[in-house]
């Protein structure tokens, strides 16, 4: 895409800003609040900027207007991980950011396969999406997932995703990430 980093970042921030009133499927927070809470959890954990950016943008695929989106009335865009991953690559984000975003659904499929307590803790909405996303991984898939170089970050992102659902939590505003995003695209 032949645009300045500033133009790309402002487009993405506008998409997120517009999601202030879009519900995060079956959860008590908006899409925007969910993104901000996830990014803040990543920041507070001392993560790299790439990981923070991935946390902020992990659900972008739910709110992009992409003709390839497969929509479900209850759980939103079923293929939102792939939609967002492609969008981020096309717009100049690093492979690490794109791959992390792309794997946040697989991380759930991994955890539900390897951790029965985790499976039992999933929210009703998340349990329903899991079914649509292919259910828990089989042994071979789980082994490959665990060998990936971003294994740890993928699981971290998943846990922040799950924690970022508190209606009362205050977070830093979207503008707090603008410079970080521009610097990333200008790298």
- Binding of Fe ion at residue 106 (CB under 5 A)? no
- Residue nearer to Fe ion on the CB measure, 113 or 126: 126
- Binding of Fe ion at residue 161 (CB under 5 A)? yes
Residues 6+ away with beta carbon under 8 Å from 109: 130, 133, 134, 135, 136, 137, 141
> In angstroms, what is the minimal distance from the CB of 34 to Fe ion?
6
DSSP code for 23: B
> In angstroms, what is the minimal distance from the CB of 143 to Fe ion?
25
> In angstroms, what is the minimal distance from the CB of 64 to Fe ion?
14
- Binding of Fe ion at residue 27 (CB under 5 A)? no
Q: How big is the site for Fe ion, counted in residues (CB under 5 A)?
A: 2
Per CB under 5 A, which of residues 30..59 are in contact with Fe ion?
Answer: 59
CA distance 37 to 19: 14
φ/ψ bin of 170: left (φ > 0), alpha (ψ from -120 to 50), beta (otherwise): beta
- Residue nearer to Fe ion on the CB measure, 50 or 162: 162
Q: Specify whether the CB–CB gap between 104 and 158 falls below 8 A.
A: yes
- Per CB under 5 A, residues contacting Fe ion are 59, 161
């Amino acid at each position: 895409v032949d645009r300045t980093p500033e133009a790309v970042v402002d487009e993405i921030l506008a998409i997120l800003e517009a999601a202030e009133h879009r519900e995060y499927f079956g959860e008590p927070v908006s899409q925007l609040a969910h993104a901000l809470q996830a990014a803040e959890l990543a920041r507070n954990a001392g993560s790299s900027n790439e990981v923070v950016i991935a946390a902020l943008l992990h659900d972008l695929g739910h709110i992009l207007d992409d003709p390839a989106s497969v929509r479900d009335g209850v759980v939103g865009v079923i293929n939102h991980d792939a939609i967002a991953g492609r969008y981020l690559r096309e717009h100049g984000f690093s492979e690490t950011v794109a791959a992390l975003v792309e794997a946040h659904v697989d991380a759930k499929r991994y955890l539900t396969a390897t951790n029965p307590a985790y499976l039992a803790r999933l929210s009703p909405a998340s349990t329903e999406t899991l079914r649509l996303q292919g259910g828990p991984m089989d042994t071979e898939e789980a082994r490959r997932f665990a060998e990936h170089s971003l294994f740890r970050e993928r699981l971290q992102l998943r846990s922040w995703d799950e924690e970022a659902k508190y209606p009362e939590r205050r977070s830093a505003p979207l503008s707090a990430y603008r410079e970080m995003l521009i610097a990333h695209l200008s790298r």
